Amino acid sequence: MGVNMLIKAVIVLALLVILYSLGSGLFYLVRGRNQDASHMLKALGWRVGLSLGVFVLLGAGYLLGWITPHAV
């Protein structure tokens, strides 16, 4: 498995974790208890951090030539 496939797998895994974090944040928001606010903020922090990480990984992968754009 080349670097290209490894980067794609990491990005897909990170996007799945971001979706999980989004769902857990929604769950705590809908449940609406006072102690759930910290759980919701923790889920938001994970989502923002992972999204930033995916963005940096995409930029670094493009600059280092690990991923290349292609025509559709």
Domain that holds residue 52: 3-63
Each residue's pLDDT tens digit, 56-65: 988 998 898 8
Residue 70 resides in a domain: no
Does residue 58 lie in a domain region? Answer: yes
Instruction: Please report, for residues 16, 26, 49, the alpha-carbon distance to residue 42 in angstroms, rounded to integers and kept in the order given.
Output: 17, 12, 11
Asked if the structure places residue 69 within a domain, the reply is: no
Is residue 58 a contact partner of residue 67, using CB atoms and an 8 Å limit? yes
**Locate tokens 């759930």: which residue?**
36
14: in domain: yes
Total domain count for the chain?
1
Residue 1 confidence class, pLDDT cut points 50, 70, 90: low
Q: Are 16 and 66 in contact (CB under 8 A)?
A: no
pTM: 0.78
Express each pLDDT in 15-63 by its tens digit.
999 999 888 888 888 887 777 778 888 888 888 999 999 999 889 988 9
Inside any domain, residue 47: yes
